Structure 1
Amino acid sequence: MNFKQIETFRAVMLTRSMTLAASQLHTSQPNVTRVISQLENEVGFALFERVAGRITPTVEAESLLVEVERAFVGLDSLADSARSIRQSGTGSLRVGAVSSIAMSIIPEAMRLFTERYPKVPVVIHTSGSSSVAKWTALRYCEVGLVSFLSDIPGIEATPLRKERGVCVVPGNHRLARKRLIRAADLAGERFISLPQGSSTRLATDAAFETDARQLMMETPYATTICRMVGLGLGVGIVNPIVSRSMKIPGTKAIAFEPAIEFRSYVLRPTNTPSTRLARAFLECVDQAWPAE
């Protein structure tokens, strides 16, 4: 007994006609007759009585139809599930991201993603680039968004953006009117820095040949730097996506020289095709990225 035989039997039972069943199945009437005959041989009893050119289902056929309908209800359910997957996605999505992206880009990306997939739960895990890379390599996260690359195996990296760092100063600061701030302009300024050991901290420190800054505070979060600047606690250099996204009152972001690059990358597990949801989320990240 195969699906073609069951499908043909069901069509004949519902139409009570070999001819109409053939039309519904886009085949010929003789072919329907042949398939029904094969099915009768398979089950070992007659399914239809043929009287004066018309067919009448047997009692056995009516009983068999009940079981067939149960099976087709299951198939209809599968079709509904496939339609739901096609339209809304399925399962959940885990994303790992460094704090600068998690706090600036992810909220707007989630708004866009939720508009497309309102029933899909998403979990955002935030940590440093190395931890995000480990999560991605272990397939704990389908997507990782990081600010630098590590040598952790099991991941594929794709460049996402390259931004030039900006100097964030209070809105009423003496440097707030400048269009470009140079390292020498920060002599004597209270400086709020990213922590020792980070790649961006190394690049920032290297920009100052004679370091006359007053290194007063350290924090791993660019958003915290911006908030502190807004409160008049000092100045800092951050990834411009943070200043553009957060728009913290009382601050002004100004171009800085020498150039300090802030790079970001997308990480995926190796040898693992991206899911539809992961691809859609990255599209939303791209749309959410603030323009210069």
Structure 2
Amino acid sequence: MRRIKLRHLDTLAAFMKTGSVTEAAQVLHTTQPNASKSLKQLEDFAGVRLFERRAGRLRPTPEAELLFTHAARLMDELTVFENLSLDLTTMAQGYVNIGILSAFSTALIPMAMERFNSQYPGIQVQVDLLDSDKIHSYVSRGNYDFGLVHHPEHESDLMTQTLKTASMVCIMPNAHELSKHRIILASDLAGQPFVTYPRSVPFGAAIFRSLSNEGVRPSNYLISNQSQLIRRLVERGRGVALVDHFSVWDAGEFDHIAVRQFEPRIPVSIGMIIPKRRPLSLAAQTFVNVLKDVLTPEALSPPGTPKSAEVGDGL
């Protein structure tokens, strides 16, 4: 199947705008014979007479005028395509769609979004909060560039990568008596007002199992399945809590709560899942790189924590 060439449309556009084959050739930085040949090839392709010579000059027919109308539209679209390609390459515009667990929305992702937006203001970033099953399902369908979960499941249509492994940490109001401790033991929580996750979610089950193994039974506790609400209740003085460290990743920037290492250690990870059939775009990969920067080891230590007592592991 024959296909029209861009040079034919370029020559037609230049000729229609200048009214002269010679001037069209000059615009296109080619010779007059080459421009004439291109117009003849276009006419052969169209299968209808596009030009006629009158008074020694080549004149377009009505058919040529009609083709030029559509050619001009195509050339405009091509210009948009070229400009968009340049913008995508230079990160001047684009978009990133991410599905995440709500635990990452409290601190970690806002920190990454703030840093990314300051560097690439033309890139639109959309973040949706979903449960783990939906994140896996939607990412596998290609609805998101990537997803962030605690423990990525290996599936045939997904690529997985653990970005960081840390631990549950103990948080409390800054003036709380336990804030004087560098490490909080399970026994330290006995008798303390406690804010926690329900036993029905993995975090809650792990916390209650850990405390039970140490012979500790919290009393007077409030329960929520949202890390953000747990953090806010602690900030308002309603008790101490064990939370996913990633949900208080920005605690060093504020004075509302103290973050301390908890023992026995309860590991928690942040993992990324990517659809195998669609690799990360330049914008999405750049966002991931920014997120990895936010997850650097220097960001792991609670305020005042010595290096030897850092909460979490290396990448």
Same fold (TM over 0.5): yes
- 1:1-292 matches, within 5 Å, as 2-3=4-5, 4-15=7-18, 18-39=21-42, 42-44=47-49, 46-48=51-53, 51=56, 56-58=57-59, 60=61, 64-65=64-65, 67-84=67-84, 86-87=86-87, 88-89=92-93, 93-114=96-117, 116=120, 118=122, 120=124, 122=126, 124-150=127-153, 154-208=157-211, 209-215=213-219, 216-245=221-250, 250-287=256-293, 289=295, 291-292=299-300
How far off its partner does 1:30 sit? 3.2
Going from structure 1 to structure 2, the CA distance change for 1:105 and 1:85 (only over 3 Å counts) comes to farther
In structure 1, what residue type is equivalent to 2:242? I
Moved more, 127-136 or 78-87: 78-87
8 Å Cα contact 1:230-1:248 kept in structure 2: no
Taking the aligned partners of 2:185 and 2:50, their CA distance within structure 1 comes to 93
Going from structure 1 to structure 2, the CA distance change for 1:244 and 1:18 (only over 3 Å counts) comes to same
| Unmatched segments (≥5 aa) in structure 1 | none
8 Å Cα contact 2:192-2:239 kept in structure 1: yes
Taking the aligned partners of 1:13 and 1:170, their CA distance within structure 2 comes to 75
Taking the aligned partners of 1:240 and 1:65, their CA distance within structure 2 comes to 67
How far off its partner does 1:35 sit? 3.2
Going from structure 1 to structure 2, the CA distance change for 1:265 and 1:44 (only over 3 Å counts) comes to same
Taking the aligned partners of 1:38 and 1:74, their CA distance within structure 2 comes to 19
Query: What's the CA shift string for 1:241-292, capped at 9, x where partnerless?
Result: 3223256654211122232222011112232223444334434534555823
Taking the aligned partners of 2:261 and 2:234, their CA distance within structure 1 comes to 16
Going from structure 1 to structure 2, the CA distance change for 1:22 and 1:81 (only over 3 Å counts) comes to closer
| Unmatched segments (≥5 aa) in structure 2 | 301-315
In structure 1, what residue type is equivalent to 2:196? S
Local SS of the residue matching 1:268: strand
8 Å Cα contact 2:152-2:161 kept in structure 1: no
How far off its partner does 1:238 sit? 1.6
8 Å Cα contact 2:168-2:267 kept in structure 1: yes
Going from structure 1 to structure 2, the CA distance change for 1:74 and 1:10 (only over 3 Å counts) comes to closer
Taking the aligned partners of 1:250 and 1:11, their CA distance within structure 2 comes to 67
Percent of pairs identical after alignment? 23
8 Å Cα contact 1:167-1:238 kept in structure 2: yes
8 Å Cα contact 2:16-2:68 kept in structure 1: no
8 Å Cα contact 1:191-1:213 kept in structure 2: no
Going from structure 1 to structure 2, the CA distance change for 1:193 and 1:40 (only over 3 Å counts) comes to closer
Taking the aligned partners of 1:243 and 1:101, their CA distance within structure 2 comes to 9
Going from structure 1 to structure 2, the CA distance change for 1:152 and 1:211 (only over 3 Å counts) comes to farther
Taking the aligned partners of 1:174 and 1:281, their CA distance within structure 2 comes to 39
Taking the aligned partners of 2:51 and 2:175, their CA distance within structure 1 comes to 94
Going from structure 1 to structure 2, the CA distance change for 1:76 and 1:166 (only over 3 Å counts) comes to same
How far off its partner does 1:196 sit? 1.4
Going from structure 1 to structure 2, the CA distance change for 1:224 and 1:35 (only over 3 Å counts) comes to closer
How far off its partner does 1:168 sit? 1.0
Going from structure 1 to structure 2, the CA distance change for 1:243 and 1:2 (only over 3 Å counts) comes to closer
Going from structure 1 to structure 2, the CA distance change for 1:79 and 1:37 (only over 3 Å counts) comes to closer
Query: What's the CA shift string for 1:69-94, capped at 9, x where partnerless?
Result: 5422432233225424642545x654
Taking the aligned partners of 1:270 and 1:59, their CA distance within structure 2 comes to 52
Going from structure 1 to structure 2, the CA distance change for 1:255 and 1:58 (only over 3 Å counts) comes to same
Normalized against structure 1, the TM-score is what? 0.78
Aligned length: 285
Query: What's the CA shift string for 1:165-198, capped at 9, x where partnerless?
Result: 3211222222211222223333333332222143
Taking the aligned partners of 1:48 and 1:287, their CA distance within structure 2 comes to 67
